[in-house]
A = this chain, B = another copy of it.
Amino acid sequence: MAYKNLLVGQSGGPSVAINASLMGVLTEGISSAGVGKVYGARNGIAGVLADQIIDMGMLEDPNQQELLKATPAMALGSCRYKLADPDADDQDFKRIEAIFQKYEIGYFFYIGGNDSMDTVAKLNRFFTGRNLDIRIIGVPKTIDNDLVLTDHTPGFGSAAKYLAVTVGEIIRDIVIYPVKSVTIIEIMGRDSGWLTLASALPRLLGGDKPDIVALPENVFDEDAFLDEINRRFADSSHIIAVVSEGIRDKDGAYVGSIVKGDGVDSFGHKQLAGVGKYLELLVKERIGCKVRSVEVNILQRAAAHLASKTDLDEAELIGREAVRLALEGKSGQMMAFERVSNHPYQVKAVSFPVAEVANAARMVPEEMRNIDDPLCREKAREYLLPLIQGEVLQQRDENGLPKYFIL
């Protein structure tokens, strides 16, 4: 009998590093004696169900490997498809089993976030129950950095670097006018404040801005926010606040959620946008100075041109290690990073049973939540800095623009 084949899919929201993990899985599969063909599923598990399976043998070409590694988002496409509980409804699972048989899949790798790990856990439970030797490994990715049991997640380091550089540039842009102003920068991260913390890197590294850092882990109080702006105006004409999209008030309600819900906010304005725009209007009305809000939006998860080399290298590594783990006979595991040391920075790939990971979220720890405390800044700096290091040289096309891997 021929060697078993390998299948890989991508799921959830995009990042800059998720194709580096894809490249790692495929390249390791190609060079492993125990693996037959390497396949990719279009649009994750939805593509498996729809029999959209692609031969990924083009990854034998080192140039294609390099190109894929530095391409943002998902080369295979993504999905947001939640599998049922296999004990309650096994229809999808039987379909997946049939597809796996058709392509003689022995190894399945799913690159994604929390929801994708739920898929990995269910598939593993189903195949184990059927006594089928199909090994299933989850490869984490999320710019949000909110998966438990891992030091950090691939994709976060590049988003963190983009935010640190971009906020540094916004600071240069803002301070040029001799006029009092408030700038509110809205950062992704609905439940955890890792990205917002990273956007404060210019301050963590000794600068005086951003002045205010609002994490979702802390209760947000509008009056305290306005008071702090007024207090800081004593020392600086330009107040910059980085604010997580997920900040909540003492009752747990999202700040500015009225703006997002009914279409009309408490100022009677038509529905505008997120919390940044809400706080802009709040400051305009209650303080009355020049205010601007900037929503960094999807740029923070798409900006491959400013990827962290450390992040992409680690994302590739974790993909390769996933294949090695499966070849050792493991299944139902999620790959993770353990930080061995900070000076020099060293991580190793480890793994955990995926059931321990699914549906839990990792917050910014207490000790990194108060940016005004020097010890907190030191801890946050120690944690974040290694993750953003190193430049990635993207290939350019004949027009001088980045060249991408496109199926």
- List A residues at the B interface (Cβ < 8 Å): 10, 14, 43, 46, 71-74, 77-80, 164-166, 168-170, 172-173, 175-178, 201-202, 205, 258-259, 269-274, 277, 281, 292, 294-299, 301-306, 385, 388-390, 399-402, 404
Report the separation of the CA atoms of residues A299 and B304 in the bound assembly, to the nearest whole angstrom: 16
Least CB distance from A211 to B in Å reads 17
Report the separation of the CA atoms of residues A46 and B176 in the bound assembly, to the nearest whole angstrom: 12
**CB-defined contacts of A79 to chain B, threshold 8 Å:** 177-178
Asked if B295 contacts A295 (CB within 8 A), the reply is: yes
Asked if A176 contacts B277 (CB within 8 A), the reply is: no
Copies in the complex: 2
**CB-defined contacts of A390 to chain B, threshold 8 Å:** 400
Asked if A176 contacts B71 (CB within 8 A), the reply is: no
Report the separation of the CA atoms of residues A294 and B305 in the bound assembly, to the nearest whole angstrom: 18
Asked if A166 contacts B259 (CB within 8 A), the reply is: no
**CB-defined contacts of A72 to chain B, threshold 8 Å:** 169, 172-173
Known: A176-B74, A177-B77, A177-B80. A169 touches B302 (CB 8 A): yes
Asked if B274 contacts A166 (CB within 8 A), the reply is: no
Show 6 residue pairs from A and B whose CB-CB distance is below 8 angstroms, ordered by the A residue: A43-B177, A73-B173, A173-B301, A270-B281, A271-B281, A295-B295
6 closest pairs, A vs B, by CB? A169-B302, A173-B302, A78-B176, A73-B172, A74-B176, A73-B173
Q: Which of A77, A303, A390, A404 has the most CB of B within 10 A?
A: A303
Asked if A399 contacts B205 (CB within 8 A), the reply is: yes
Known: A178-B79, A305-B165. A173 touches B274 (CB 8 A): no
Asked if B299 contacts A299 (CB within 8 A), the reply is: yes
